[in-house]
């Protein structure tokens, strides 16, 4: 390995830094002589905090500026949350095979005295910036209210208490990576509450053709995570998804068998469907596309 420091680009939040440090630690286990330097890059999504994500209307809100630095050669590698990645990767860049996934579930953080969703009183207010979470929460408890919330995890926890919310919903992975697992009141079961496609997985991005860094990054890849994220992201891409509509997906693996569960809703939240499809390893992208096509057809048939 070249003695030159490998510059790794990331957002500046505590979670982004924890994720990047975790990746670097795994890479150093595989290549102890490698030297790394973290470069913090501010993205559009970090700068616009007073507008809901679906109102900004821009894919790649948390990655574009980092990708620009990677393409220019200012950094050598980037670490992102996979769920923030647009379905299309810019020409000249590639996402390496994915390292092992953290907990994919969503988690409820509730105010003191409330243990889980069923204990919330009617009219209780839950903070979430996600249409997918809002849609599923309200299908389970139509008598509660949701309110928009933006910012990093620590900011959201602070807002919850300052604004008198009864709870907030976050990705379990982020809370765990920051050592805040103890704040979780309830994990949402994958059987009843689908996460964002590739939630809990990380994306290591490098320049296409940089064989040394591709080889290093893929030395820490996890086959099961690669299969899951490929299926879930194929579903996301085929459904035309972004922040504008409720989209959830989770791929479970049993030996050679795959089961992909998907959630798809209209932008206005007036209808949402959850369906599943089964297949075998090696068919993950095809399963994602098939399930999305089937559900889009069903949603369009429900119009009117």
Residues marked as catalytic: 84
Closest Cα partner for 198 from 59, 296, 291, 102?
102
d(CA 132, CA 135): 5
Collapse the DSSP code of 254 into the 3-class scheme (helix H, G, I; strand E, B; otherwise coil) and give the result.
Answer: strand
- Strand partners of residue 263: 248, 274
User: For the chain, how far is it from start to end, CA to CA, in angstroms?
Assistant: 61
DSSP H helical ranges for the chain: 14-30, 44-47, 53-56, 64-72, 131-140, 153-162, 172-177, 211-218, 223-238, 284-301
d(CA 98, CA 221): 5
Cβ atoms of 24 and 78 closer than 8 Å: no
């Amino acid at each position: 390995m070249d003695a030159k420091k490998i510059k790794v680009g990331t957002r500046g939040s505590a979670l982004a830094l924890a994720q990047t440090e975790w990746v670097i630690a795994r890479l150093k286990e595989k290549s102890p002589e490698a030297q790394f330097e973290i470069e913090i890059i501010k993205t559009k999504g970090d700068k616009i905090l007073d507008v809901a994500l679906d109102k900004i209307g821009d894919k790649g809100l948390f990655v574009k500026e980092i990708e620009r630095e990677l393409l220019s050669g200012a950094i050598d590698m980037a670490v992102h949350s996979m769920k923030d990645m647009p379905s299309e990767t810019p020409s000249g860049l590639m996402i390496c095979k994915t390292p092992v996934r953290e907990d994919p579930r969503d988690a409820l953080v509730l105010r003191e005295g409330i243990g889980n969703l069923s204990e919330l009183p009617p009219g209780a207010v839950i903070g979430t910036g996600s249409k997918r979470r809002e849609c599923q929460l309200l299908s389970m408890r139509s008598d509660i209210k949701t309110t928009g919330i933006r910012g990093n995890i620590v900011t959201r926890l602070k807002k919850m208490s300052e604004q008198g919310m009864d709870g907030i919903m976050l990705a379990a992975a982020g809370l765990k990576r920051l050592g805040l697992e103890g704040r979780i009141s309830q994990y949402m079961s994958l059987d009843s509450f689908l996460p964002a496609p590739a939630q809990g997985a990380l994306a290591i991005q490098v320049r296409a053709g940089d064989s040394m860094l591709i080889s290093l990054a893929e030395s820490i890849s996890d086959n099961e995570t690669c299969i899951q994220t490929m299926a879930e992201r194929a579903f996301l891409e085929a459904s035309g998804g972004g922040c504008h509509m409720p989209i959830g997906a989770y791929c479970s693996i049993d030996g050679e068998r795959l089961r992909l569960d998907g959630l798809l809703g209209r932008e206005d939240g007036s209808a949402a469907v959850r369906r599943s499809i089964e297949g075998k390893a090696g068919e993950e992208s095809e399963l994602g596309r098939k399930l999305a096509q089937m559900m889009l057809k069903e949603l369009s048939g429900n119009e009117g």
